[in-house]
C-alpha cells in the first residue's frame, strides 16, 4: 500500500477502449500488486455500452490476464483488485451520464468518508475530449470547481487535437475547467525507461556533455520503425496519418530530450521549459524548403486495408530533416524517420560524431566506416552502445568498428515498470515532468502543420512492406 498517496477515485473514460484493455487496466493492476496504490481507491469505468459493474469486472479481469499474465500472482489479489472496479454507462456528449457518474463518485466518497480526490483519464477519440471536459465542469467535477480539501486531475491521451487550431481550442476548454498543474497530457514514450534515461545519461556524466554540440556532432538520426501495419485502425489512420500519429508527439519529444539544454533544476517546469525552447528553435519548414527535407511514403497494400479509401494519399511513413537553429546545434541535421510496416521494429537514436581531421588508418574514401557513434536503443532492446574504431588484429594498421554496450537487462535486476504504470503513478502523485505542457503541445502541432500544409496534395511514395521506406535525398 502506498501511504504517501491519498485515497482517490480513478475515472476511466473509454473504459472499453483497446488502450484501456491492453495498457491501462493491466497497469493499474500492476500498481496495486506492487503496493503503489493507496489503502482505498475506486476505479470507475465509463463507456457507452450498457453493462453493469459485474460485467465490467469480468472484462477487466480478462484484460489483465491477457495482457499482464506475469503480474497475476495469487488469483485472490486479482479478485480484490476487481472489487474496486465500478461502471457507469454514459454517452460522453450528453449530460445525463455525468449525473450518474457524480452519483457513483459520491457513493464512494460517502462510503469511504474521504474527500473527492479524483483523477479523470480520457482514453477517448480526440473529438470527445472537449465534450467530456465541458460536462465535467458543468457537473461540478472540474478541477477549478473543487470546494473541499482534495485534488482533481485530468490525464488526456494523444492525439491531443488534430492540428494547432484544434489543440488550442482543446487547451482553452481544458483551461476553463482545470488548472495547468492539474492537467497531464500523456505521451507514453516519455514513460519508457531508456527515454527517461536520456536526461540522466546526458547530465549525470561529465564525459558526454562537452561533446554534445555542433563542434563535434555531425548528425543525429531518430528512427521509430514498426514491422506491422495499421492493423484495425484504418478509420483513425485515414484522419491522422503518420506525421500526426508518431512525429508530432513521440518523435518531437525524443528530439527535445536529445537537444535540450541542461535544466536549471530537476523540477517539472525547468525540464519542460528546456524542451519547449527546442521546439521554438526548430527551423521553420516553409513551402520552399519542405520538399527538400521531407519524404512521405505509403506501404503497398495500405489502400486495401479495412476502412481505408481506395485512393487514399495518407502517409504511413515519413522521413524528415530538421535543423535546430540555436547556438549549440546550428547546422547539424537531425534525421527523423518513422513508419509502419518497415523492415523491423526498432526505436533508436544515433548520434554520429565528426571524423578526425586526418584519416590515417583505413578506408580512404570515407571515415563513416568507423565513425564514432552513440546509439541509444529504446526498443526492442534497451541499450546504449558506443561505436569506435579499433585496430584489426594483424600486421596492418587498419581499423574496424567495434562497440561497447550497456544493457538495462543485464545491468539492473530490479522489476521493470511499464511506461503506463510509471506515468499513471506520476499523475497520481502529481509529478508533471514526463507530461507535455500546454505550450509544447501547441509548438509541436505548429511544426506538423507547417509540414502538412506544404505537402498538401503530395502523393506519398509507395514502398514495399518490410522495406526501409523511401530515402530522403
**H helical segments located in 297-437:** 408-411, 419-429
Burial bucket for residue 264 (CB in 10 Å: 0-12, 13-18, 19+):
exposed
The grid coordinates listed for 302 are 495500405
**N- to C-terminal Cα separation, the chain:** 55
Q: Which of 188, 250, 434, 466 is catalytic?
A: 250
Residue nearest to ligand BG6 (CB): 245
Residue number with CB closer to ligand BG6 (95 or 232): 232
Residue number with CB closer to ligand BG6 (84 or 418): 418
Contact present, 86 and 57 (Cβ < 8 Å): no
Cβ at position 256, least distance to ligand BG6 in Å? 16
| 255 closest CA partner among 233, 224, 286 | 224
If you count DSSP H runs as helices and E runs as strands, how many of each does the chain have, helices first?
16, 15
Q: Would you put residue 396 in left (φ > 0), alpha (ψ -120 to 50) or beta?
A: beta
Cβ at position 421, least distance to ligand BG6 in Å? 13
Q: Tell me how crowded residue 299 is: count the other CB atoms within 10 A of its CB.
A: 24
Cβ at position 40, least distance to ligand BG6 in Å? 32
Q: List, in order, residues 6 or more apart from 438 with CB less than 8 Å away.
A: 171, 175, 180, 183, 185
Residue number with CB closer to ligand BG6 (57 or 192): 192
Q: Establish whether 363 is a catalytic residue.
A: no
Cβ at position 102, least distance to ligand BG6 in Å? 31
Kindly report the length of the chain: 473
Residue number with CB closer to ligand BG6 (245 or 315): 245
Contact present, 423 and 188 (Cβ < 8 Å): yes
Burial bucket for residue 126 (CB in 10 Å: 0-12, 13-18, 19+):
buried
**H helical segments located in 229-311:** 234-240, 242, 252-259, 268-281, 287-293
Residue number with CB closer to ligand BG6 (245 or 382): 245
Q: Is the peptide bond before 395 cis (omega within 30 degrees of 0)?
A: no
Cβ at position 224, least distance to ligand BG6 in Å? 7
Computed on alpha carbons and rounded to an integer, the radius of gyration of the chain in Å comes to 24
Residue 322: enclosing H or E segment and its boundaries?
A: strand 317-323
Under the rule (CB under 6 A), what is the footprint of ligand BG6? 158, 188, 226, 245
The DSSP bridge pattern shows strands 152-156 and 183-185 to be parallel
Residue number with CB closer to ligand BG6 (94 or 232): 232
- Planar angle of CA 135, 116, 52, nearest 5 degrees: 65
Residue number with CB closer to ligand BG6 (369 or 468): 468
Cβ at position 257, least distance to ligand BG6 in Å? 15
Torsion of CA 133, 134, 135, 140, to 10 degrees: 90
Cβ at position 351, least distance to ligand BG6 in Å? 20
Cβ at position 420, least distance to ligand BG6 in Å? 10
- Planar angle of CA 276, 322, 464, nearest 5 degrees: 120
The grid coordinates listed for 325 are 537553429
Cβ at position 316, least distance to ligand BG6 in Å? 10
Distance CA 22, CA 349 (A): 27
Q: List, in order, residues 6 or more apart from 458 with CB less than 8 Å away.
A: 291, 296, 313
Which residues are known to be catalytic?
250
Amino acid at each position: 500500500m502506498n501511504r504517501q498517496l491519498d485515497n482517490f477515485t480513478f475515472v476511466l473514460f473509454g473504459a472499453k477502449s483497446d488502450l484501456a484493455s491492453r495498457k491501462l487496466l493491466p497497469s493499474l493492476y500492476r500498481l496495486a500488486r506492487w503496493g503503489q496504490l493507496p489503502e482505498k481507491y475506486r476505479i470507475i469505468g465509463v463507456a457507452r455500452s450498457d453493462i453493469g459493474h459485474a460485467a465490467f469486472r469480468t472484462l477487466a479481469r480478462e484484460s489483465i490476464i491477457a495482457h499482464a499474465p506475469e503480474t497475476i500472482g495469487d488469483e485472490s489479489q486479482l479478485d480484490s483488485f476487481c472489487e474496486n472496479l465500478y461502471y457507469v454507462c454514459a454517452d460522453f456528449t450528453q449530460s445525463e451520464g455525468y449525473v450518474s457518474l457524480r452519483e457513483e463518485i459520491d457513493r464512494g466518497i460517502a462510503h469511504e468518508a474521504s474527500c473527492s480526490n479524483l483523477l479523470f483519464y480520457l482514453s477517448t477519440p480526440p473529438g470527445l475530449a472537449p465534450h467530456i471536459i465541458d460536462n465535467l465542469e458543468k457537473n461540478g467535477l472540474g478541477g477549478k470547481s473543487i470546494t473541499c480539501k482534495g485534488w482533481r486531475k485530468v490525464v488526456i491521451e494523444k492525439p491531443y487535437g488534430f492540428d494547432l487550431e484544434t489543440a488550442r481550442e482543446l487547451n482553452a476548454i481544458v483551461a476553463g475547467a482545470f488548472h495547468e498543474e492539474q492537467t497531464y497530457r500523456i505521451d507514453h514514450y516519455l514513460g519508457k525507461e531508456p527515454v527517461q534515461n536520456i536526461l540522466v545519461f546526458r547530465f549525470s556524466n561529465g564525459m558526454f556533455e562537452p561533446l554534445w554540440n555542433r563542434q563535434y556532432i555531425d548528425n543525429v538520426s531518430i528512427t521509430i520503425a514498426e514491422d506491422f501495419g495499421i492493423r484495425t485502425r484504418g478509420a483513425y489512420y485515414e484522419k491522422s496519418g503518420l506525421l500526426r500519429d508518431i512525429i508530432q508527439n513521440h518523435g518531437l519529444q525524443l528530439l527535445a530530450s536529445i537537444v535540450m539544454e541542461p535544466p536549471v533544476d530537476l523540477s517539472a517546469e525547468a525540464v519542460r521549459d528546456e524542451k519547449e525552447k527546442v521546439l521554438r528553435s526548430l527551423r521553420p519548414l516553409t513551402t520552399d524548403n519542405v520538399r527538400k527535407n521531407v519524404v512521405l511514403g505509403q506501404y503497398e497494400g495500405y489502400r486495401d486495408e479495412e476502412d481505408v479509401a481506395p485512393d487514399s494519399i495518407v502517409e504511413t511513413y515519413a522521413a524528415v530533416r530538421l535543423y535546430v537553429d540555436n547556438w549549440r546545434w546550428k547546422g547539424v541535421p537531425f534525421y527523423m524517420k518513422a513508419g509502419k510496416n518497415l523492415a523491423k521494429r526498432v526505436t533508436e537514436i544515433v548520434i554520429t560524431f565528426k571524423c578526425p581531421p586526418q584519416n590515417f588508418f583505413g578506408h580512404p574514401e570515407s571515415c563513416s566506416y568507423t565513425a564514432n557513434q552513440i546509439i541509444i536503443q529504446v526498443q526492442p532492446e534497451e541499450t546504449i552502445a558506443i561505436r569506435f574504431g579499433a585496430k584489426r588484429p594483424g600486421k596492418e594498421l587498419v581499423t574496424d568498428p567495434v562497440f561497447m554496450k550497456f544493457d538495462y537487462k543485464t545491468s539492473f535486476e530490479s522489476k521493470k515498470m511499464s511506461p503506463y504504470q510509471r506515468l499513471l503513478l506520476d499523475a497520481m502523485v502529481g509529478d508533471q515532468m514526463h507530461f507535455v505542457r500546454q505550450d509544447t503541445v501547441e509548438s509541436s502541432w505548429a511544426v506538423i502543420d507547417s509540414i502538412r500544409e506544404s505537402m498538401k496534395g503530395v502523393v506519398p511514395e509507395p514502398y514495399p512492406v518490410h522495406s526501409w521506406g523511401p530515402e530522403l535525398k
